[in-house]
């Protein structure tokens, strides 16, 4: 499971990682949107964040019942203790840790981030990063992002981290 802030590369790295590992890639936000027939922004606006977070937990629980795959979660999914327990019971969380400037560069031109629809979106992003980092640090693994890395470079970095923990990539017996 890939966790981290919006813009940390969970989807891009997740797709690349899944291709390299020859397993499916799933994105919990996309699964929520498909189930709701609405975008994340629309769900937030129509039903509120609490409703969205409940659906997020339901989707993560359902997805983790399947065969091995790479899962990208929404930036806030890991914050809920219930989600951390579900993820820990079913796999390993890997935090894609990116600093504020890298995150801002990646998200500043995207209108699809409901939590950044504020008067000071970069300040909001900084606050979210500061609040969330201690919880992300609870993940079993961490890979630090580097703005010089391509998607392939970052995927290589993730694979090296996973290789240091062979029990993660070995099939269950």
Whether residue 75 is annotated as binding a ligand: the answer is yes
Q: Is 84 one of the annotated binding-site residues?
A: no
Q: Is the pLDDT of residue 71 over 80?
A: yes
Q: Residue 116 pLDDT more than 90?
A: no
pTM for the model: 0.87
> What are the boundaries of each domain within the chain?
2-169
Q: Is 127 annotated to bind ligand?
A: no
pLDDT in tens, 7-66: 899 999 999 999 999 999 999 989 999 988 998 888 988 998 889 999 999 999 999 987
| pLDDT attached to residue 170 | 63
Q: Please tell me which residue, 15 or 104, carries the higher pLDDT value.
A: 15
Asked if the model's pLDDT at residue 115 lies above 50, the reply is: yes
Residue that is written with structure tokens 């970052």 in the block: 154
Q: Is 148 annotated as a binding residue?
A: yes
Instruction: State yes or no: 140 annotated in a binding site.
Output: no
Is the pLDDT reported for residue 173 higher than 70?
no
- pLDDT the model gives residue 172: 44
Rounded to an integer, the average pLDDT of 108-129 is: 80
Please tell me whether 10 is known to bind a ligand.
yes
Q: Over 90: is that where the pLDDT of 168 sits?
A: no
Band (150; pLDDT cuts 50, 70, 90) = very high
Sheet with 70-72: strands ordered across = 25-27, 70-72, 2-3, 94-97, 141-144
**9 annotated as ligand-binding:** yes
Residue 111, pLDDT > 50, answer yes
48 is in an annotated binding site: no
24-47 exposure pattern, b = at least 16 Cβ within 10 A, e = fewer: ebbbbbebbbeebeeebeebbeee
Higher pLDDT, 139 or 173: 139
Architecture of the 2-169 domain: 3-Layer(aba) Sandwich (3.40)
Helix pair angle (81-90, 49-63), 10° resolution: 10
66 is in an annotated binding site: no
Determine if residue 145 is labeled as part of a ligand binding site. Answer: no
Q: Which pLDDT value is given to residue 45? A: 87
């Amino acid at each position: 499971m890939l966790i981290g802030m919006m813009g940390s590369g969970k989807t891009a790295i997740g797709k690349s990682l899944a291709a390299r590992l020859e397993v499916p890639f799933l994105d919990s936000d996309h699964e929520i949107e498909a189930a709701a027939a609405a975008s994340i922004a629309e769900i937030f606006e129509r039903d509120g964040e609490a409703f969205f977070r409940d659906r997020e937990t339901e989707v993560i629980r359902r997805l983790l019942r399947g065969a091995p795959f790479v899962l990208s979660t929404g930036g806030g999914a890991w914050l809920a203790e219930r989600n951390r327990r579900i993820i820990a019971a079913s796999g390993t969380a890997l935090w894609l840790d990116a600093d504020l400037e890298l995150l801002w560069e990646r998200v500043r031109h995207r209108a699809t981030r409901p939590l950044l629809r504020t008067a000071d979106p970069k300040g909001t992003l900084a606050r979210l990063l500061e609040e969330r980092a201690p919880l992300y640090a609870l993940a079993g693994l961490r890979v630090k992002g580097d703005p010089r890395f391509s998607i392939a470079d970052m995927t290589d970095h993730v694979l090296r981290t996973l290789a240091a923990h062979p029990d993660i990539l070995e099939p269950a017996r």
